Structure 1
């Protein structure tokens, strides 16, 4: 038996192989350097009993057809006849930070590539090569065992304006299967799963996490076999490889381990996305405060209105002005002109130059909205090239639009030229890249074509940042984030909904890429009216922006927004470089988290009162991630937000507190009474 190990941060993988495919025999906390790997592999061997085969088929990196559970590879020949290859171990290529396991079957070569990343995660990918064309029905990324000391898993569901809803699902005999077949990562089932062990909370306990870095629709299965073994598989949506071929690859699967609760998984994923996956045009540039005009004007563009709005937005602290949908073709509503990426001279007789000059004179940069992957049937492009659509001619449209087939080089070439011409003509440093309908077919080629177009534009315009927006949060994954720099978490600007959404999304996404905007006084998606302070603090907890008509603000509202925006600017450098740690709240009405500096020298607590509490007084809030022996000085940033009923001697209302990390993590802090839609902000420094 051969054995190998890889270490990434605080986790270790141990592999073993006899004659077939390699398998994982250990995944967990970092093992001692002198650990005997042969003994680890021996300790993982199972017994046999009645009702079983005479040899227990291993849970390999690609479980084969002899395995009692779901196979990791399902193939047919080019005509559809099933193939059941038996792979034999060939060799292992070893480097200090990676292992590539190579195996062969007749006419086939299978490679499992595992890399230890400097951010503390593992990345895993499966590659298949064939001598003759074949069809892939299912190709899983390298398969990992799921923890045994666990009674549930956590996956993610959602909908438009209600993204990132965590679901706790019991482990039981059989399969938990989730499949995103909409052609994008999806609001409904983004490609993540968390695997907590018994007793795991947000701040304590052991947990494992997986993130499949693919934007084109995926499949996840978590299986418990009759013998008790558990596996988790991720791959492209079944059947999405629509053509026969000789080379196929899964996307990269990102694996994290934590012994500090679910928050430790979140911290690992945050660091990995921010420091490895995202390719920043200028990593040293502070994350600028956005202004987006969509909920101010919709399609009703005029230079006078937008210039006045830009002036007001800059006065409030905006640093980037983004012109949204409506500037091109004859785009007066969402029924027309997608695909016609030329200036609408009715609205913009001199083009965008006068608006951009005004925006630049205010000290802001300029961004522009595109939706390149889509086309309206009512467009010059579609009338000229109906054959460029993806799917049948009689398909049902979504938001009055169809999808362009980006697997076709001529489609990508047209889009590249059209977008590149706009970027070359105008001083634009930002694209809001939207994706507002589901795909009519699940096609891996479409996702790869989108990647190729983004890669080409990034190479040609390396200083332009790109935001991934897909009806809000419909395409958020490490595959798209390798080519973009920000995500629009949701089309909902309702701060109460955003409070919960941002909190749960922090188990996967860093602050630096998570866009959050101060919406209108009267929310356009929920109808709620919320206080300016609450709206602004929720936005300041991530990459901050505004998305309303700033001319509607009263002077007290404007003054409060200016002050909170200034606070964001003063603190964004260390916040964006640190980690978000979700806190366990004893009160379910309170959604709380810490943002901790990378060096641990300071932190801020955001504690949002989402609804009225069941009990009269606030319950203590325990903190996390601190040095037990260190002393921290805390102060409440916004005591003025307390309601009239808050009349007691709460210490944070009147001055600073100095407490040890041990006290803060064991006893916690007691906040003042709060009305719903209040965000308490507690700042702290390590003394």
Structure 2
């Protein structure tokens, strides 16, 4: 007997099929099928022939590959009983619950006392599927590994794209060819990690940036993940995502994965990005739909731990004059916090630096029209702190462990730790008008522990429940904790601790596939970058920040009068355009000249766009290559102009074209021939505006 289930979004179909009450397999995932497509015929068409002499059938690649099904690849779960014996499941169909946009499948192994539940939701408007798995046991068991429902992907791909990186250099694209065997990625730091972003892209052969079949995966979990991409000897390919292996540290009777979000697009990698960004904006992040994203000012790289009320007031006044709308007081405001080696955990305002509390500073901030935000690092504790001296038993791991940034990690799965942190933060939120928290996390965990992540989600949920208007930014030494799990509890991410605009240009270019502009913080850093030592122009720094949620993070007292005018001008432009840019359709624009990193942002009406084309390094060509645009209407005409021509530092000799004129060109021309860019020095941003002609 064959059992089959089909789910559809606006543009995709996902079909599962099961024979003889066995676990189902994904037999189709891709562009939406006709409504009259026969699942029975698809099942017949998907049967595989074989020619080896190993066993007398092709083992099924189910949503939970099992040893008992003679599956020779990576298994979907590893369970042990309390004696350490590995349990080899053999799940059999028990029940299902299906609707037009959801299916829940329940399978049981009565001999082992196990129940497996797979849930797949079709998020119709978002063009995304959300998959989750749960295993329940009559008796406590040890869960070493549990994958979300396993996806067999198209054989029509020869490579996969994922991301490595490091602190200050996140989102480094890695392309790996499919070969027989396993490609394994795992974050064991207890967070999403700088080095292992929990996303995967599988382009089909012949696809490109903005055309062709492409598949995307993201595991929405902040505690570290494990990804298995395996090609079997018969050519089939499976994708598994779950919590870091062995991160469930205690025997229990119930274990559940986070959600695995998947999407397919026939518009290439860019189409996958469009689907994921819209999904995050519409269904993950809790932001009022009519909220205006304020220009941030963060004081960290201006003052570090040297807090002086009078100096801060001076900085507040200057930041507001440039255009800042939210002032964030960073590290150094709390009891005895004069360097990175002390006081974490002692969340009381330092009465030496702030003898009247934060009230005088906040009053001045409000007088300029700005709102107020405050930095915390709640999950950490310094050995030199009152909290540690009172509760050394609250840390994760042994006291003899190596410190990270001079600090321990608090075990927030302990209820009393959660209660202490909630009380301290809640009391400050009640005493002061704080509308924003920058929530930092600056060291790795001594070992991966899923309960730590569940406790974090609980604490964040309690704080926002008590303060519904509170906005929280996820920062983990920059991009160490960016995923759809944390974004279910926060409203902004700090993409990287590097404010080097050249590095940011690359990071933003990759991260835009996964993150909408509205949640992606990007700040104008100091003239000399504190993480690279590189000196970059104010124009380039400002325009890179203007690509995302704009802010400043430098000492405004260092600005010359000319630099201040440029920064004010770019900030004003961003304010005038931010409403449509926060919901823009963004497509990356591959250029034959690899020295250019470019994207187009189009408004929802399709009648206005802006192209950001950043010269990343010196070109290998003596004359710049055309930049081919995307996403336009081929038969429409567009007025095109170079917005910031006066700021561009150029090698070029031609004083014609975009450098001097507004051009009127068809979408067909712009998407075929493209725009001839000026010949510019590295670290220049060309900002090109386009308007549909009447």
TM range (shorter): over 0.9
Q: How far apart are residue 631 of structure 1 and its match? A: 2.2
Alpha-carbon distance between aligned partners in 2 of 1:548 and 1:515, rounded to the nearest angstrom: 15
- The answer for the alignment partner of 1:581 in structure 2 is 587
**TM-fit CA distance, 1:611:** 1.0
Asked if the contact 1:493–1:525 (Cα under 8 Å) also holds between the matched residues in 2, the reply is yes
Distance (Å, rounded) in 1 between the aligned partners of 2:43 and 2:293: 47
Q: Does 1:89 align with 2:93?
A: yes
- 2:49 pairs with one of 32, 35, 47: 47
1:310-459 aligned at under 5 Å gives the runs 310-459=316-465
State the SS of the aligned residue for 1:478. Answer: coil
Alpha-carbon separation, structure 2, partners of 1:168 and 1:317? 41
| 1:649 CA displacement | 4.7
Q: Distance in 2 between matches of 1:613 and 1:416?
A: 53
Distance 2:428 2:106 in 1: 46
Alpha-carbon distance in 2 for matches of 1:291, 1:503 = 23
Q: Which residue of 2 aligns with 1:206?
A: 213
- Report what 1:266 is aligned to: 273
Structure 2 residue 664 is the aligned partner of structure 1 residue 636: no
Residues 642 and 403 of structure 1, relative CA distance in 2, 3 Å threshold: closer
Shift of 1:603: 1.2
Q: Does 1:98 align with 2:102?
A: yes
Deviation track 1:554-606 (CA, whole Å, cap 9, x = no partner) reads: 00000000000000000011010123211111111000011122232221100
Q: 2:671, 2:509 → 1: CA distance?
A: 19
Specify the alignment match of 1:77 in structure 2.
81
**Cα deviation, residue 147, structure 1:** 2.3
* Rounded Cα–Cα distance in structure 2 between residues aligned with 1:645 and 1:236: 51
Aligned match of 1:24: 26
Shifted more, 149-158 versus 650-659: the winner is: 650-659
Report the counterpart of residue 564 of structure 2 in structure 1.
558
Q: For each residue in 1:217-252, what CA deviation from the matched residue of structure 2 results, as whole angstroms up to 9, or x when unmatched? A: 110010011111110100001000111111110010
- Report Cα offsets for 1:260-303 as digits up to 9, x if no partner: 111111111111111111011x3312110000000000000011
Distance 1:597 1:454 in 2: 33
| Alpha-carbon distance in structure 2 between the residues aligned to 1:644 and 1:514 | 30
In the other structure, the counterpart of 2:199 is: 192
- Displacement, 1:81? 1.1
For residues 546 and 215 of structure 1, what CA distance do their matches in structure 2 show?
A: 27
Gaps in structure 2 of 5+ consecutive residues? none
| TM-score for the superposition, normalised by structure 2 | 0.98
Question: Aligned to 1:233, which of 240, 248, 252?
Answer: 240
Quick one: structure 1 residues 11 and 638, their matched pair in 2 at CA, closer, same or farther if it must change by over 3 Å? same
Q: Which residue in 2 is equivalent to 1:140?
A: 147
Q: What is the deviation of 1:644?
A: 5.3
- Equivalent residue of 1:304, what SS? helix
- When structure 1 is superposed on structure 2, of 394-403 and 656-665 the one drifting more is 656-665
SS in 1 for 2:80: strand
Please tell me whether residue 37 in structure 1 is matched to residue 43 in structure 2. no
Indicate whether 1:128 and 2:128 are aligned: no
Map of 1:6 onto structure 2: 7
Q: Secondary structure at the match of 2:485?
A: helix
Q: CA deviation at 1:659?
A: 2.0
Give unmatched runs, 5+ long, in structure 1: none
Q: Pairwise CA RMSD of aligned residues?
A: 1.0
Q: Distance in 2 between matches of 1:13 and 1:6?
A: 5
- The 2-side partners of 1:644 and 1:208 are apart by 40
Structure 1 stretches of at least 4 aligned residues deviating more than 6 Å after TM superposition: none
Match of 2:285 in 1: 278
- CA offset at residue 146 of structure 1? 2.2
The CA distance in 1 between the partners of 2:631 and 2:144, in whole Å, is: 44
Shift of 1:50: 2.4
- Quote the Cα distance in structure 2 between the aligned partners of 1:644 and 1:256: 42
Q: Determine helix, strand or coil for the equivalent of 2:286.
A: coil
Determine the C-alpha separation between the residues in 2 that align with 1:251 and 1:546. Answer: 35
Write out per-residue CA displacement over residues 377-407 of structure 1, whole angstroms, 9 at most, x where no aligned residue: 1110011111110111211000000001111
Q: Which residue of 2 aligns with 1:680?
A: 686
Q: Specify the alignment match of 2:61 in structure 1.
A: 59
Partner Cα separation in structure 2 for residue 140 and residue 599 of structure 1: 41
Per-residue displacement from partner, 1:529-571 (whole Å, max 9, x unpaired)? Answer: 1011000000000000000000110000000000000000000
SS at match of 1:219: strand
State the partner residue of 1:246.
Answer: 253
Q: TM-score, normalised by structure 1?
A: 0.99
